[in-house]
Amino acid sequence: MIKAAVIGYGNVGRAVVEILRMSPDFALCGIVGKTSAGRQVEGLTIVDSVDKLPATDVAILTLPSRGVPEMAKKLLGKGIHTVDGFDIHEQVPALWRELSALGIKHNVAAITAAGWDPGTDSIIRTLFQAMAPVGLTYTNFGPGMSMGHTVAVRAVAGVKDALSVTIPLGTGLHRRMVYVELEGGYTYAQVAEAIKADAYFIHDETHVIQVSDVSAVKDMGHGVHMERKGSSGSTCNQLMSFDMKIDNPTLTAQVLVCSARAVLKQKPGGYTMIEIPPVDFLAMDRAQAVAELV
């Protein structure tokens, strides 16, 4: 049994706990959640620090992305394998290099950016490019709630609660519809300006809408449509597409658990999902996978 700890107990963390309970090769050995510390879950008491965890094979980080680098480095330094759903695309290469060096130093492995995008969508983009090396791939998200963008808005001063909805415009362009409840003492103009200046939003068309109750517009659904038009050899007009409609927290959690299984099969270092053999994500041996899936 793989002894797994969950770091963070929000929407994704709760889904990870449920999936671990249903997975035959995992045992939940600890949960870290600062605001939930002291609660009983699955016969465990949630603790407020990773220093209070029992012996653990792998830690599954379900923290907001901006809290991932510090925590992942701390856990790797303790000799614990890590997986995380870090989703700030342009910062993934730098974090991947840092975790690679720490993993080698401490004889453990880390998989970063292990969600559905970046993550499983990255694998699809890689396969598209392998099949048609010359061409263009467009990734169109939504319509639906973006967890990373929503967490980023909630961290803005003056925001009591928030929801960020992604609307696909086509050819990889997106509109961000941000619904906010304001704290007292802040103006809409102040908050809207801060949101639009955040790295999560600065590159997209962003609309900030003030509402009295964010829960009235909240929906965990999301999705993606990816398409590539390219060439295989000298043959043009190879057309490929991939679609899915999902519950965002649950699919993210499932990918994290699959990655926690895979990370223990890798040599020390740092990885993204495109570097992992797909069979390593499965709860079956290779012979069974070849027989059923090839």
Residue 16: pLDDT band with limits 50, 70, 90: very high
Does 95 lie in the same domain as 7?
A: yes
Q: Using the predicted structure, report yes or no on whether residue 278 has a pLDDT greater than 90.
A: yes
Residue 197: pLDDT band with limits 50, 70, 90: very high
Q: Using the predicted structure, report yes or no on whether residue 171 has a pLDDT greater than 90.
A: yes
Does 270 lie in the same domain as 214?
A: no
pLDDT at residue 219, as a whole number: 85
Q: Give a yes or no: residue 129 inside a domain.
A: no
Does 253 lie in the same domain as 113?
A: yes
Does 92 lie in the same domain as 26?
A: yes
Residue 292: pLDDT band with limits 50, 70, 90: very high
pLDDT at residue 125, as a whole number: 98
Does 168 lie in the same domain as 98?
A: no
Does 183 lie in the same domain as 92?
A: no
Structural domain harbouring 111: 2-118+248-293
Please tell me whether the overall predicted TM-score, pTM, comes out greater than 0.85 for this model.
Answer: yes
Six token digits for residue 194: 């801060």
d(CA 26, CA 46): 18
Phi and psi at 277, nearest 5°, equal: -60, 130
What average pLDDT score do residues 99-127 get? 98
Q: Give a yes or no: residue 70 inside a domain.
A: yes
Q: Give a yes or no: residue 46 inside a domain.
A: yes
Does 260 lie in the same domain as 200?
A: no
Residue 174: give its domain's CATH number. 3.30.360.10
pLDDT at residue 162, as a whole number: 97
What average pLDDT score do residues 162-172 get? 96
Does 260 lie in the same domain as 160?
A: no
The model's pLDDT over 138-156, given as tens digits with 9 standing for 90+, comes to 999 999 999 999 999 999 9
Give how many domains the chain has, as a whole number.
2
Residue 23: give its domain's CATH number. 3.40.50.720
Identify whether the C-beta of residue 60 lies closer than 8 Å to the C-beta of residue 5.
Answer: yes
Q: Give a yes or no: residue 206 inside a domain.
A: yes
d(CA 27, CA 1): 6
pLDDT at residue 193, as a whole number: 97
The model's pLDDT over 25-43, given as tens digits with 9 standing for 90+, comes to 999 999 999 889 999 999 9
Does 8 lie in the same domain as 75?
A: yes
Does 206 lie in the same domain as 259?
A: no
Amino acid at 76: L
Q: Give a yes or no: residue 123 inside a domain.
A: no
The model's pLDDT over 201-228, given as tens digits with 9 standing for 90+, comes to 999 999 999 999 999 998 889 999 999 9
Does 114 lie in the same domain as 164?
A: no
Q: How many CA atoms lie within 13 A of 45 on its CB side?
A: 6
Q: How far is CA 13 from CA 16, 86, 184, 259, in A?
A: 5, 14, 30, 15
The pLDDT > 90 percentage for the chain reads 98
Q: Give a yes or no: residue 36 inside a domain.
A: yes
pLDDT at residue 220, as a whole number: 86
What average pLDDT score do residues 69-75 get? 98
Mean pLDDT, all residues of the chain: 96
Q: Give a yes or no: residue 231 inside a domain.
A: no
Does 113 lie in the same domain as 252?
A: yes
Q: Give a yes or no: residue 133 inside a domain.
A: no
